Amino acid sequence: MADVFEELLGERERFRPAPSTAWQTVEEWLNLELPTDYKELVNGYGDAIFLGHLFVPHPQGADSLLTFMEEERKDFHAAFEDLRSSSDVPDDVWARVVPWAYHDWNGDLALLIPPLNDPGSSASSGDEDWMVAVAYRQSPEIELFPGGITAFLKQILKESRFPRGWPSSRTEKWKSVEGSPLV
């Protein structure tokens, strides 16, 4: 999987993954195991800005991943509750969505949607069983992208198919957050 990310994003700057205890703390709060490709992405490229606008936190980054997830999940539920019954996000996973990135151009939130067939853990599911969702803040709507993090990034970086309203003219694929303790 690391080879796929290097092909999409270039050479990684993070050579030590977050300690397993940091991931364990996040997964205990979520009450589920995160997909492997997501953890590999964050371990290699987290605490960074993708395409000039998409902030991806890291467990030990300038803004802690756990704090980010806690705050953004709470804000998501408050902002999008009115869409709950009409969105494509299945009701049984609504409470378990996982915020993984924030788009600072327009305030959109990128979410991971756990596999539908696995209520407590993704251990028996593959990374591709997860979905990425984009919660559009400007016009409240939630769009689902099947296939997980890897498929989502391939769609954007290889196929140049961006979620609605996301600037597509950025040439810099990613850069560390200024002052990141990980560099």
**pTM, whole model, 2 decimals?**
0.90
The answer to whether residues 72 and 79 touch, using CB atoms and an 8 Å cutoff, is no
Q: Region 44-65: what's the mean pLDDT?
A: 93
Query: Does residue 182 surpass a pLDDT of 90?
Result: no
Map out the domains of the chain with their CATH numbers. Answer: 2-160 (3.40.1580.10)
pLDDT band with cut points at 50, 70 and 90 for residue 127: confident
Kindly report the backbone phi and psi dihedral angles of residue 120, in degrees, each rounded to the nearest multiple of 5, phi listed first.
Answer: -115, -15
Alpha helices in 10-130 (DSSP H): 20-30, 36-45, 65-80
Q: Region 45-57: what's the mean pLDDT?
A: 93
The answer to whether residues 117 and 110 touch, using CB atoms and an 8 Å cutoff, is no
